[in-house]
Every structure is written in structure tokens, then in C-alpha cells.
A and B are shown apart, each in its own frame.
Chain A
């Protein structure tokens, strides 16, 4: 059985104490109390499994699509090929082959499999808003064109995994364009003497 960890100092808490206190536990390490809900998975043997042995397919057995020398034990839930344990990745209740996992993450950008995203809409909005702060106004000649370029370049890039509109991107783009336009107007005005 695995040990429940203290929420503050990660010290292993004795299960007997968790049981006796009915979930309200006191850690002797950091002298803090916390509430713990112990779940059945705590009782499972979490012993790390050794890597699967190479088992050649026997008479009538299917061979792994990627390693023909291995016996196929699973089927990829995405492309359907038969694969051995070493080529299989458990993803929630699904099993996918490693090739599909990489393809889904990197190429297809599947929301169920992706692990990280850069939020270009937020970056564009921040760049456009930077000059409006009290102390960073002098950065406008750099941030405004950058906001416009980033906004246009990443117009179709995926935003947050939680779907949202292009409002931030549009806002950043408009503010950036406004600043660039204003800058061009001032430079032209000074150059051609419009303000005299």
C-alpha cells in the first residue's frame, strides 16, 4: 500500500492515523493539520513493472506492426494496427500506438492529446497594451508593429484549449494598428510640417 503524503511537507502520513482521525490528519513534521480522502487506488500495488520481455509471435499469433519480432497484444485505437506492449501508450481508457500519439500531438494538435500551447492572442494583446502603462510608453515603436505582425501571423493559430473568440487578437491588432498609424502620422506631420 502506498503512503498518503502531507499536503504541506510531503511527509508520509501513517495510514493508521488517517484511519483513526477519520480523514483529519495532523503531520508531526510540519505541525499542520489537513483533510485527506483516501481512495481505493491507494491500496493497489504500485510496484514499477519491468519492461516487457520480447515474446516472439507463435503459430496463429499476430505480429506487432512496428516490431514484427514481437507478439501483438493490443490494437491502436486511432489507426487500428496491431501492436506489442512496447509500442502501446495507455491514454485514459484508450490505447494508441506511439506513432499515432506523436502525430496527434504534434501534427493534428488534437485537443485530447496536446500537452502545451502558446497563447498568441494574449501575447498580441499584451504587446499592444504595453505602451499604455505608465512606465513603458517608450517601447511603443517596437511593441506596436510586433503586435500587428504577431496578430496577422497567428490569426489561424490555435488559441486556448478552452474555446474562445478572437476578441483579444482583434483588440491587440486594432490597438497595434492604431499606434502604428499614429506614429506614422506624427512622423509625417513633423517631416512635412503639418503642425506649424
Chain B
């Protein structure tokens, strides 16, 4: 990676560049490769404060990676007798293992922001503590050079706090720029999605025991609609302070949707291989002659046919019901009642006191 270009020198992460009198921060949008770049330039002379804090993402991400590693390792163990399974799960296990090691090596996560009179800029590329400390030290040095002074001492700050606050744009901002979230107001998406999730979960549980193509498609349809509703509910409710049980329910259901997707995809693969093997045995060649064979295998497959995928499928169904039940009471009855305002005063003047 380039260490300097034009008037800039590299500071951190490929997005922070040190200019002669300003900091250049490159914001990228788009995934997996950036489509656009926006350039934010902040004068060193105008930076009022640099804040950083360690976050809990390091632990959360580590646990998540360990969980995924356990899942793919189990897949590797379960498919140790088939070469394609071993190749696929072996590659997945290696990738997740390397990701876990890299995550550990990069160290604790953090957040870093710089404050000027008109904005608080989140430096997203400074998300690991070690490079952040290095970068903050350099940035502080540059700011002090351009502001012609020392970092504010406790005495200066304490003295300044006693003075009346200047009417700067940030000082004029209300105490809460981003206040606490409003309470959960109730949601139709939650009220339809959670009961449907229970129905979908029950159908998933019953599917290996009911060998009927129509039931298989109905289960897929109900489960799919329930999953979409729950995801929409989670997205639309993110701006409210949800009751803890509803939050657990919706986030758990989201993780369950991902697991169900994995189970469904694995089932599709298994059906493809099994149908192909049946065709080879019956001498019809190495192709799936009719799509119906493929779908019929999936609808007629029992737990024994599905193997470990069947157990994953059943677990997903069970968890769908569990998470829906956890969230149902709060989803239906946890909505905060709208504030009752006092009745407006009567428009007519009060009756005059009767004359004595």
C-alpha cells in the first residue's frame, strides 16, 4: 500500500491521511468493493477534542466466530466419510479458523471520534485499539502544533468550566443530540410475524414425518413469509426501546433464519446428490431427469434420509417456536400506552355565580 501521495502521508487504515494542515478522511460506500469515495478534510487547527473508547465487539465477535467454528467443525466431523463433504467443510473450517486467529491477533476493538465546532466525525477505520493509540498520539501532536499550545491541563479545564459557555454551534446543541429511544409502540409486523413463526416452526417440525409434496411447499411458504415478517419487524423496531424479551425474540429469530437458510441449502445439496445417485443406480445417467424427482425426494425424506441436516432442520423449527413464544407476551401486551393528555378547557366561559 502507498505510504504517501500528493501532499498526504499515510496515517492509518488506508482511509486516514495526514496533510500539511489538515486531516484527510476517506469515507467509502458499497460492498464488497467500494462504489464511491467521499473526502472529508478537517483542519488540525479546528479539532477541539479527540475521543476514543474500547468496545465489547472484540468479545462478541470472538464468541460468534467460535460458534461458527464449532458449527463447521461439527459439519467436518459429520461428513468425514464423504470426500465432497470433507472438502467443503474442511475449506470452511480453515477459513473460519484463520479469521479467528486474525481477529485475536488484531487485538481489542474500539471507537474513535474527533470533534470540531460543527461536527463529530466518527473515524471508522480506527476500530482496533493498538493502531488507534498510535494514530491518536500523532494526531494530538499535529493538532497541538497547529493550535500553538499544550494539551489542556486539568486546571485550565476546571477554570474554563466556571466561565459562562460560549454560544458555539456545539454548545448550542441540546444536551441530548441522540437521546434515549422512544418506547415500543406496538407493531402489526410483530403481531403477525411471531404467531406465523410458531406455525412455520410447527410445520418444520412436522415436515420429516409427513411425506407430502404440498405440505413441503406449504411449510416453505409459511416459514419464508414468517422469516421475512420477523426481519422487517426487527428492522422497523430498531428505532424503539424494545422490551428485553421481545428484543431477544427478534434477534434470536434472525439468527434462526440464518441457520434455517443453511439447513435448507444443505438439504437442497443433499437432494441433488441423492437424486443423482438414484439415477446412476437406475441407469438413467448422471443427470436429474425430472425436477419432480428432486422435489419429491425432499418432501419424502425422513429424518434417517436427511442425516445431520434433519436434526439441524428440527432444531431450527424448535428454536423458531421458542423465540416466538418468548416474544409473544411483550409483542402483544408490551406496547406503551399513549400519553393521556388533560382534557382541553371548555371554550364557553364559566357560568357566573348566581346573584345573592
Query: Using a CB–CB distance below 8 Å, which chain A residues touch chain B?
Result: 1-12, 14-16, 18-20, 22, 29, 32-48, 92-93, 111-112, 114-119, 122-123, 125-126, 160-164, 168
Contacts and interface: CB of A to CB of B under 8 A. Distances in A.
A41 B171 contact: no
Interface string B153-189: 1111110110101111111010111110000000000
A66 B166 CA distance: 35
B165 A4 contact: no
Interface of B: 2, 5-7, 14, 17, 19-22, 24, 26, 30, 32-39, 41, 43, 45-53, 111, 113, 115-117, 120, 136, 140, 143-144, 147-158, 160-161, 163, 165-171, 173, 175-179
Contact of A5 (B47, B115, B151): B115
A115 B25 CA distance: 11
A125 B30 CA distance: 13
Given A9-B176, A43-B160, A161 B39 contact: yes
A45 B171 CA distance: 10
B42 to A, nearest CB: 10
Contacts of A92: 19-22, 41, 43
A1 B160 contact: yes
Q: Which of B147, B155, B161, B177 has the most CB of A within 10 A?
A: B161
A118 B35 contact: yes
Contacts of B165: 1-3
Nearest to B112: A7
Contacts of B20: 92-93
A46 B161 CA distance: 15
A114 B36 CA distance: 13
B12 to A, nearest CB: 13
B157 A19 contact: yes
Contacts of B136: 37
Nearest to A118: B36
A112 B140 contact: no
Contacts of B153: 19
Given A92-B22, A163-B2, A39 B154 contact: no
Contacts of B17: 162
Given A34-B52, A117-B37, A43 B158 contact: no
